[in-house]
Amino acid sequence: MSAPRPSGPFREGDRIQLTGPKGRMHTITLRADGELHTHHGVLRHRDLVGLPDGSVVENSSGHEYLALRPLLRDFVMSMPRGAAIVYPKDSAQIIAQADIFPGAVVVEAGVGSGALSLSLLRAIGPEGRLHSFERRDDFAEVATANVETFLGETPETWSVVVGDLVEALPNTLDAGSVDRVVLDMLAPWECIDAVADALTPGGVVLCYVATATQLSRTAEYIRATGLYTEPESSETMVRGWHVEGLAVRPDHRMVAHTGFLITARRLAPGAVPPDVKRRAAKKTSYGDEDVELWTPGAVGDREITDKNLRKRVREAQRAAQGARIAAEVRTAEPEAGASGGDDPSA
């Protein structure tokens, strides 16, 4: 069975987001006999069935409602939460940075509220496989319900295992059989060894953590195993813009911090990369390398060579000389109109 396409005319069973008077939003699931009662009147669900997505309908008092199927990002922001969710801006980056591809075998832990599971399921497509691990059965239930609500079913490509990843992973999947692993949990470093066993050589592990201390500990742990490539760390900031007439400016408010992403790739057994610079894990003072990070060259300004600099000096001097000559010519010329010579008005 495959989930219904989230497009086409509205059908019974569809979730619809209604935006009514004063921008007030309501989410309904279309039923033949369903009604939305508000103090503005009654909207019958059957008036929506068969209409194209994006239609405007009137309720019993003539108030208008814009009806749209929620996008995945709308759904995850409003769905019930057991644990904190991965926000859409981060899900998008996770899909890209972890290189989640159609047909991939992906492991995810923990499943929390299932927000990231929904993005992962989309990205792996009908040929992929998502194994989600969650140590709390109540959270696993919330996530399963959320996925079912959004997709209209529990997809065949998904399984949820209740248990701690470190114990459950080797009992569930063969060593070296997993393409990608995404960890969203408090202590991902505890799972890095188990993940190394499960990952295929070249496979990607991505950890999503909320604080700088988790980021540091995770990156150092990954580096210290010697089983992965050098970990790469980043965060994603998305700033909305207000665009209306001549008022075009960044929004005053934004979701500034959610989390950090750390990615690394599983090395082949016994492989030692030739150019990995392994830094000391407990570094407490600045070295030359840290200072170098802030030189103009390192931040993108190219250092100018002596030859180029001499060329620039000559260019500048030529320009200055030209300006001087122009000024002298202006001084020597009689002011326009001062001589009275050819001025017909004089």
Residues of this chain that bind ligand SAM (CB under 6 A): 83-86, 109-110, 112-116, 133-136, 139, 164-166, 184-186, 191
Q: How far is the CB of 136 from ligand SAM (least distance, A)?
A: 4
44 or 122, CB closer to ligand SAM? 122
163 or 176, CB closer to ligand SAM? 163
**Residue in 27, 127, 151 with CA at minimum distance from that of residue 78:** 27
Phi/psi region, residue 140 (left: phi>0; alpha: psi -120 to 50; beta: rest), is alpha
Please identify which residue in the block is written with the tokens 């399921």: 121
Q: How far is the CB of 193 from ligand SAM (least distance, A)?
A: 12
Alpha helices in the chain, H assignment, sequence order: 72-78, 88-97, 115-124, 137-151, 165-172, 192-198, 212-225, 288-292, 306-332
Q: Are 53 and 61 in contact (CB under 8 A)?
A: no
104 or 115, CB closer to ligand SAM? 115
Alpha-carbon distance 30 to 39, whole Å?
20
Long-range contacts of 46-50 (CB under 8 A, 24+ apart): 48/10, 48/16, 49/9, 49/10, 49/11, 49/12, 50/9, 50/10
How many helices (H) and strands (E) are present in the chain, helices listed first? 9, 15
Q: How far is the CB of 7 from ligand SAM (least distance, A)?
A: 25
Q: How far is the CB of 169 from ligand SAM (least distance, A)?
A: 9
Q: How far is the CB of 167 from ligand SAM (least distance, A)?
A: 8
48 or 86, CB closer to ligand SAM? 86
43 or 191, CB closer to ligand SAM? 191
* Secondary structure (3-state) at 25: strand
Q: What is the distance in angstroms between the CA of the first residue and the CA of the last residue of the chain?
A: 95
165 or 227, CB closer to ligand SAM? 165
**Residue in 119, 70, 130 with CA at minimum distance from that of residue 97:** 119
Q: How far is the CB of 208 from ligand SAM (least distance, A)?
A: 7
Q: How far is the CB of 139 from ligand SAM (least distance, A)?
A: 4
Q: How far is the CB of 57 from ligand SAM (least distance, A)?
A: 33
- With a CB cutoff of 8 Å and minimum separation 6, the contacts of 133 are 107, 108, 109, 110, 111, 160, 161, 163, 164, 165, 168, 169, 172
CA-CA-CA-CA torsion sign (34, 40, 41, 47): negative
86 or 105, CB closer to ligand SAM? 86
151 or 165, CB closer to ligand SAM? 165
